[in-house]
Amino acid sequence: MRKKPPVLIGIMAVLAVLFLLSCGSDNSTSSQPPVTVKDDPSFSADIQPIFNSNCVSSGCHNATASAGLVLLQGQSYASLVNVDSSSENTKKRVLPGDATSSYLVIKLEGRQSVGARMPLGGSLNTNSIQNIKNWINKGAKNN
pLDDT at 120: 87
Count of structural domains, the chain = 1
pLDDT at 40: 97
Q: Is residue 142 part of a domain?
A: no
Q: Is residue 4 part of a domain?
A: no
Q: Is residue 115 part of a domain?
A: yes
Q: What is the DSSP letter of 62?
A: S
Q: Is residue 70 part of a domain?
A: yes
Q: Which domain, by its residues, includes 128?
A: 36-137
pLDDT at 85: 95
pLDDT at 122: 79
> Cα(76)–Cα(51) distance, rounded to whole angstroms?
9
Q: Is residue 1 part of a domain?
A: no
pLDDT at 64: 81
pTM to 2 decimals?
0.76
Q: Are the C-beta atoms of 94 and 140 separated by less than 8 Å?
A: yes
DSSP labels, 3-52: PPPHHHHHHHHHHHHHHHHHTT-S---SSSPPP---SS--IIIIIHHHHI
pLDDT at 4: 55
**pLDDT-flagged residues of the chain (< 70):** 1-34, 66
Nearest CA among 85, 126, 76 for reference residue 103: 85
